[in-house]
Copies of this chain bind each other. A is one copy, B any other.
């Protein structure tokens, strides 16, 4: 007995083949799309967004951020690690203190764009 799953059934009967073919050709590599999703995933957490927003105004040390947001030093440090790995923030060491700042202006632009959408 022949069984069809949804994909096959759809594939033969309902798909707009020309459009699909055209779109397929213009899709970026899977790897690029994966990286892009990973980037947005980093922005997709309240704590990290707050950290980034705080750094809009000034360079801050880990303790500053922890007090500012009411978090433990450990939690902040873990998240800064994630942000650093995505090259969204950069550290500057001064003695035992580490100051963090935004890595570049993409961060500002992206967050500003997101805010626009949210504020609509």
B-binding residues in A (CB < 8 A)? 5-7, 10-11, 14-16, 19-20, 22-24, 26-28, 32-46, 48-50, 53-54, 56-58, 60-61, 63-64, 66-68, 70-74, 87, 97, 106, 109-111, 113-120
Contacts and interface: CB of A to CB of B under 8 A. Distances in A.
A-B pairs with lowest CB-CB distance, top 6: A41-B44, A40-B43, A10-B63, A40-B44, A44-B44, A6-B73
Contact of A10 (B27, B28, B39, B67): B67
A36 B73 contact: no
- Counting chain B CB atoms within 10 Å of each CB, the highest count among A22, A26, A40, A45 belongs to A40
A87 to B, nearest CB: 8
Given A14-B61, A19-B58, A7 B110 contact: no
- The secondary structure that dominates the A interface is helix
Contacts of A33: 46, 49-50, 53
A61 B7 contact: no
B15 A63 contact: yes
A46 to B, nearest CB: 4
